[in-house]
Amino acid sequence: MSPVQRPRNIGGDRDSVAAPDEWARNVSYAKIHNICVSALAGPVIVWRMDWLIVLFSHESVARTVVLLGVAGAAGIALGKVRIYGVSLGIAGVLFVGLLLGHLKLTFHQDVLEFVREFGLILFVYTLGLQIGPGFFASLRARGLSLNAFAAAVVGLGALVAAAFIGLGWVSLPAGVGLLSGATTNTPSLAAAQQALKQVGAPNDAAVVQGLAYAVAYPFGILGIILTMLLVKKVFRVDVKAEVAAAETAHTPVVRKPATRNFEVRNPNLVGRMLGRVPGLAASGVVVSRFSRGGVVAVAQPDTALQLGDILYAVGPEEGLDELRVVVGAEAVVDLTSVPGNVTNRRLIVTKSGLLGQPIAEMVAFAQHHVVVTRVTRNGLEFTPTPNFRLQFGDILMVVGEAPQIDAVAAVVGNSPKALESPQPIPFFIGIALGVIVGSIPLALPGLPAAVKLGLAGGPLVVAILLSRLANTGPLVWHMPPTANLMLREVGITLFLAAVGIKSGEKFVSVLTSGEGWRWLWFGAAITAIPLLLVGLVARAWRKLNYAELCGLLAGSMTDPPALAFAQQTTASDAPAVAYATVYPLVMLLRVFSGQLIVFLFYRAAGG
Given this model, what pLDDT does residue 131 score?
66
Say whether both 103 and 227 belong to one domain. Answer: yes
The pLDDT > 90 percentage for the chain reads 11
In a domain, residue 22? The reply is: yes
User: Is residue 599 over pLDDT 50?
Assistant: yes
Given this model, what pLDDT does residue 607 score?
47
Given this model, what pLDDT does residue 414 score?
81
Say whether both 274 and 373 belong to one domain. Answer: yes
Domain's final residue, options 418, 442, 465 = 418
Q: How far apart are alpha carbons 26 and 55 in whole angstroms?
A: 35
Say whether both 325 and 193 belong to one domain. Answer: no
Given this model, what pLDDT does residue 16 score?
42
Given this model, what pLDDT does residue 55 score?
66
Say whether both 149 and 194 belong to one domain. Answer: yes
In a domain, residue 54? The reply is: no
Q: How far apart are alpha carbons 45 and 53 in whole angstroms?
A: 11
Given this model, what pLDDT does residue 152 score?
95
Q: How far apart are alpha carbons 602 and 607 in whole angstroms?
A: 5
Lowest mean pLDDT among 57-71, 220-234, 394-408: 57-71
In a domain, residue 606? The reply is: no
Say whether both 259 and 367 belong to one domain. Answer: yes
- Report which DSSP code applies to 496: H
pTM assigned to the model: 0.60
In a domain, residue 397? The reply is: yes
User: How many CB atoms sit inside 10 A of residue 553's CB?
Assistant: 32
Domain's final residue, options 370, 400, 418 = 418
Number of domains in the chain: 3
In a domain, residue 443? The reply is: no
Q: How far apart are alpha carbons 459 and 433 in whole angstroms?
A: 7
Lowest mean pLDDT among 4-13, 62-71, 101-110, 354-363: 4-13
| More confident call, 540 vs 219 | 540
pLDDT, tens only, 345-368:
888 887 767 767 787 777 787 777
Say whether both 285 and 158 belong to one domain. Answer: no
How far lies 506's CA from each of 68, 89, 117, 174, 514, in Å?
Answer: 19, 23, 22, 14, 14
Given this model, what pLDDT does residue 159 score?
95
pLDDT, tens only, 369-395:
788 878 877 666 777 777 777 777 788
Say whether both 96 and 221 belong to one domain. Answer: yes
Q: Which domain holds residue 29?
A: 1-48
User: Is residue 214 over pLDDT 60?
Assistant: yes
Say whether both 301 and 189 belong to one domain. Answer: no
User: Is residue 13 over pLDDT 50?
Assistant: no
Which CATH number goes with the domain that contains 306? Answer: 3.30.70.1450
**Average pLDDT of the residues in 431-439:** 88
Place 465 in a pLDDT band, splitting at 50, 70 and 90.
Answer: confident
pLDDT, tens only, 314-356:
888 888 888 888 888 888 888 877 777 778 888 888 776 776 7
Lowest mean pLDDT among 15-24, 146-155, 178-187, 590-599: 15-24
Say whether both 234 and 325 belong to one domain. Answer: no
Given this model, what pLDDT does residue 591 score?
79
Domain's final residue, options 398, 418, 438 = 418
User: Is residue 424 over pLDDT 70?
Assistant: yes
Say whether both 293 and 323 belong to one domain. Answer: yes
User: Is residue 72 over pLDDT 50?
Assistant: yes
Given this model, what pLDDT does residue 496 score?
80
In a domain, residue 511? The reply is: yes
Say whether both 240 and 264 belong to one domain. Answer: no
Q: What angle do CA 249, 253, 258 make, to 5 degrees?
A: 115
In a domain, residue 58? The reply is: no
Place 247 in a pLDDT band, splitting at 50, 70 and 90.
Answer: low
Given this model, what pLDDT does residue 253 score?
40
| 171 half-sphere exposure, CB direction, 13 A CA radius | 18
**Average pLDDT of the residues in 98-103:** 82
Place 44 in a pLDDT band, splitting at 50, 70 and 90.
Answer: very low
Specify whether the CB–CB gap between 239 and 570 falls below 8 A: yes
pLDDT, tens only, 501-544:
877 777 777 777 777 888 989 999 999 999 999 999 999 988 88
Given this model, what pLDDT does residue 162 score?
92
User: Is residue 256 over pLDDT 70?
Assistant: no
pLDDT, tens only, 114-167:
888 888 788 878 877 876 766 666 566 567 888 899 999 999 999 999 999 988
Lowest mean pLDDT among 102-116, 257-271, 443-457: 443-457
Specify whether the CB–CB gap between 594 and 188 falls below 8 A: yes
**Average pLDDT of the residues in 439-453:** 66
| 407 half-sphere exposure, CB direction, 13 A CA radius | 13
Q: How far apart are alpha carbons 428 and 426 in whole angstroms?
A: 6
Given this model, what pLDDT does residue 15 score?
42
Mean pLDDT over each residue of the chain, to the nearest integer: 78
In a domain, residue 94? The reply is: yes
Given this model, what pLDDT does residue 10 score?
39
Specify whether the CB–CB gap between 567 and 132 falls below 8 A: no
Say whether both 40 and 68 belong to one domain. Answer: no
Q: How far apart are alpha carbons 90 and 38 in whole angstroms?
A: 47
Specify whether the CB–CB gap between 289 and 342 falls below 8 A: yes
